[in-house]
Each structure stands twice: as C-alpha cells, then as structure tokens.
Amino acid sequence: MEETSPHKGRLINDEVAETITRAEELAYELKISEVMTSNMHKISPDQTMQDVVDLFRQARISGAPVVLNNQLVGIISMEDLIRCLVTSDLAANISKYMTPSPLTVKAGDPVIEALKVFVNSQVGRLPVLDENEHLVGILTKGDITRGLLRALQHDYQAEEVRRYRASHLFEDIISDRTSLILRYTIRHRDFNHGGEASGNIKRALLRLGASPQIARRCGIAIYEAEMNLIIHTTNGGVLRVEIEPHRISIDAYDDGPGIKDIELAMKPGYSTASEEIRELGFGAGMGLVNIARCVDSMVLESSLDKGTRLRMKLFLDKAETVGEGYASKQGDAA
C-alpha cells in the first residue's frame, strides 16, 4: 500500500493529519515551478571571479547558476567568492571556485521536495531543471516563503470572492418575490452532527452579506431548534430556511411525538429531557426561551402524536438586507 501510493508513499494517520497546517498542505500542492524565480542571472564557467563580483553587486544577488552550452555545470555563491577573495584571486576563472554538479530540483515536483533538500543540506539556493535537464529557474527559501504567502493570500481572496458573489445573489434576479430555500434533514439522536446544519446556515448567511449580529441570532435560534429535533423527536425532522432580502423565515418541523403543554414548554427551566441528555449539556429548559429572544416572531404549534412545527422569523431592516450587495445599503445610508 505504501509503495503503490501515488503520493510518494506519504501515509498519514488521522492524528498526524490533525496537526497539518494550511501552509504545509500548500507545500504539497504548489509546484516548484510556481514559486521559483525563472528570469535569473546566469554566468559562464569561463568568465572571471571579477565578473561574479560585478554581477552580485549589480543584480544584488548572492549566488548564480553557472551554465555552459545551455547545460548547468555548477553554482557560484557568496561563500565561493569569499574563498576567492581570501587569496586575492579575482582574475581566476569561475570554474575554479564554483561548486560543480550542485544539488538540483525538478520544476514539476511539489515544493515539499525542495524543502526536504534545504533541510538536509546547507545550500542556500537550488537550480531548477525541467524534464530535459535544462535549467529553467532558481529557488531560494525566500522564494518558497513568498510563494506560500501568495497562495495563502489567494485562498483568502477566493473566500472573499465567494462571499462577494453570494452577497449579490439576488441583485440581478428580477421577480416579484425572490428567495433562497435551504433544507436540512435532522436525524433523531444524531448528536455528533448536531449543530452542523445550523453552522452551515450561519455560514451561508454571512456569505450572503448578513451582519454578524443577524447571523448570530439566526445561528443560535436554529441551533436550539436543531438540538430539539435531535433530542425530542421520534423520527428526527426537517429544518427549512427561506432567505429573502428583508426576511429570514425558519421552519423546524417533525412528525412526533408532539408537545403536551406548549405553555409549560415555553417556561424557562422547564424540560422533559432525560438525565443522559442533560449530561450532554442540553435539556436546561432554555431552548425555546433562547429562540424567542433571538427571533422577531415565533409560532409554536403542536399536536400530540402528529408532530410539532416551530416557525421563526427575522425581519431585516434596509441596512441589513442579505443577497443584495452593497449598493442598496449605501443608497439607504446616504
């Protein structure tokens, strides 16, 4: 298994995977060709060490590949230059002081391969070769850092773009009434996924341009409703969220067992939850109270053995609309 893995035998268990950061992931995703410097300064082995001094000073670099007939033959660095200066030998040919047949990396390899070479050797730069062994670039640790930062920035911008697009979702759609409906099936006693739907809804609202306060109020209300479906129903239930620019309507419904006394259920601290549920941190009798505090309107209907339907609504004023971009909000603020 290890040998046949397409990922160069890199086998990781979940525990290790936990500690992998995005930057480390990128080291596997990014190719060396994406981060290397390709328009580099080259020098020929029959030029003099004086030429090296001039090149380093002029180009403000501290090393360069040595190339003869399009073929990499060595690398010359500041250290080589110092050795030469110690013996005042600036007239010598570069071939005398360069490091011949240096370590190289392949342009198509992931950045991690270059990092391994940097870690295991003392070199400061690595010539990059293509599949035909031609020099196509040079790579320093600085190039890698910059490449990773660029990629992280790109990740960030991608999320911004997603958010921007979603926040303008409704703007170009003409209808008498446009809305976006999200549905989630909630399974009875599925505690491990409890809150997943609410998390996704909260994220969707933020992407649609909802204010953090609105997203938080919705998130808390829906989370409590979701936990109620998990804890109290016979067969689980459904969360349905309808998002309109000026209104968010949330329905949580199930097919049983129904609530015996709604007035009592609404009383702070009243709960029918079992000891087991309480140990999980729920069943404090605050769920419906919390919901009522977070939404603008709430209707709870239930009939024994038939099921329960909880309808919640949040009304968004003009400065807080979702999915309509910024234009309408700015217009309103002026």
Contact residues: other proteins, CB under 8 A: 14, 18-22, 191-192, 194-196, 198-199, 202, 212-213, 216-217, 219-220, 223-224, 227, 268, 280-287, 289-290, 293-294
User: For residues 26 and 111, is the Cβ–Cβ distance under 8 A?
Assistant: yes
Q: Which phi and psi (to 5°) does residue 196 adopt?
A: -65, -45
202 versus 207: smaller Cβ distance to other proteins: 202
Q: Which is nearer to other proteins, 105 or 250 (CB)?
A: 250
State the nearest-atom distance from the C-beta of 272 to other proteins, in Å.
14
Q: Which amino acid is at 275?
A: E
Sheet arrangement for strand 180-186: 180-186, 237-244, 247-254, 307-315, 297-303
Backbone angles phi, psi at 105, to 5 degrees: -130, 165
Cis peptide before 257 (omega within 30 of 0): yes
- 167 or 198, CB closer to other proteins? 198
- Least CB distance to other proteins at residue 138 (A): 32
Q: Where are the beta strands (DSSP E) in 174-277?
A: 180-186, 237-244, 247-254
Residue 175: CB minimum distance to other proteins, A: 31
Burial class (CB in 10 A: 0-12, 13-18, 19+), 7: exposed
Locate 1 and state its tokens: 């298994």
Q: Are 24 and 16 in contact (CB under 8 A)?
A: no
Q: Are 322 and 243 in contact (CB under 8 A)?
A: yes
Shortest distance (Å) from residue 205 CB to other proteins: 12
Least Å distance between CB 198 and other proteins?
Answer: 6
SS3 of residue 307 by DSSP: strand
CB atoms closer than 10 angstroms to residue 282: 20
We find the least distance from the C-beta atom of residue 75 to other proteins, in angstroms, to be: 36
To other proteins, the closest distance from the beta carbon of 70 in angstroms equals: 45
Using an 8 Å Cβ cutoff, are 53 and 132 in contact? no
> Which of 110/287 has CB closer to other proteins?
287
- Taking the least distance from each CB to other proteins, the nearer of 65 and 219 is 219
255 in Cβ contact with 188 (< 8 Å) = no
Name the residue nearer to other proteins (CB basis): 125 or 202: 202
Q: Single out the residue of 293, 290, 285, 292 nearest to residue 311, CA to CA.
A: 292
Distance CA(66)–CA(63), nearest Å, equals 10
Nearer Cβ to other proteins, position 135 or 288?
288
C-beta of 18 vs 176, nearer to other proteins = 18
CB 281 to other proteins: min, Å: 4
